[in-house]
Amino acid sequence: MRISKIKSGLAAATLAVSMMVSPAVFAGGHAASEDSGSSADVYKDRSDAMKVLGGNIKTLSDMLFGQAEYDSAKALEASQAMNAVASSDVAALFPEGTMEPPSEALPIIWEEWDEFNAILADFATSTAALEAAAADGTDTKDAVQGAFMAVGGACQTCHKKFRKEES
C-alpha cells in the first residue's frame, strides 16, 4: 500500500523523496532494519527521513511566513514529500535501544512506545491533511497555513519528549 501510494504520487515528490531517503525507509517492518546489517544504517535511514521532514518544513515555513514567495506547486511538492515519510513505517526506523551517541533518541521512546506510535499516527494524519490542503486549488495559502501548524505541532510534541535537547 505504502509503496504503491508513493509510486502513484507526482513524479516531482517521488523524486524529491527518493533522492534523500534510502529505499529501506519505505521497505517497512522490522525486517528492513535487520536486513540492513549494521545499526549504522538504522541511524542513517532515520536521519535521512528526519532531514527530508526538516528540509521540506523549512521550504513551507519560508513561503508561509514571508521569507519566500508562496508557490502552490512547491508547497504541494513539499507537503507530498513530508506525507510520504510520515505515512511510511517510521517506527521501523527506531529498533529498540538504538540511541548510541551522537543519536538524540531518548530511552523513553521504547518505555513509552505506544505513545510514541500514537504521535506518529497523529503526525501522519496531519501531513495527509497538509497534502490535501496544498492540493486543493491554487488559492490555498490560508488552508495550508492552518494544516502546517498542526504538522509543526506534531514534530514538536515528539521532539520535546523523545529527542534530546540540542546542546
Q: Which residues bind ligand HEC (CB under 6 A)?
A: 43, 46-47, 50-51, 53-54, 57, 82, 103-105, 116, 119-120, 123, 151, 154-155, 158-159, 162-163
Q: How far is the CB of 11 from ligand HEC (least distance, A)?
A: 22
Q: Identify which of residues 27 and 50 has a Cβ nearer to ligand HEC in the complex.
A: 50
Give dist(CA 148, CA 34) in Å, integer.
34
Q: Identify which of residues 23 and 107 has a Cβ nearer to ligand HEC in the complex.
A: 107
Q: For the chain, report the end-to-end CA distance as a whole number of angstroms.
A: 39
CB 64, CB 71: distance < 8 Å = no
Report DSSP state, residue 78.
Answer: H
Q: How far is the CB of 103 from ligand HEC (least distance, A)?
A: 3
Give dist(CA 87, CA 84) in Å, integer.
5
What the block records as the C-alpha cell of 128 is: 495527509
Q: Identify which of residues 43 and 70 has a Cβ nearer to ligand HEC in the complex.
A: 43
Q: How far is the CB of 61 from ligand HEC (least distance, A)?
A: 10
| C-alpha Rg value of the chain to the nearest Å | 16
Q: Identify which of residues 36 and 139 has a Cβ nearer to ligand HEC in the complex.
A: 36
CB 69, CB 63: distance < 8 Å = yes
- The partner residues of 105 in beta bridges, in order of sequence, read 163
Residue 2: helix, strand or coil by DSSP? helix
Q: How far is the CB of 41 from ligand HEC (least distance, A)?
A: 13
Q: Identify which of residues 53 and 139 has a Cβ nearer to ligand HEC in the complex.
A: 53
Q: How far is the CB of 139 from ligand HEC (least distance, A)?
A: 24
Give dist(CA 9, CA 133) in Å, integer.
15
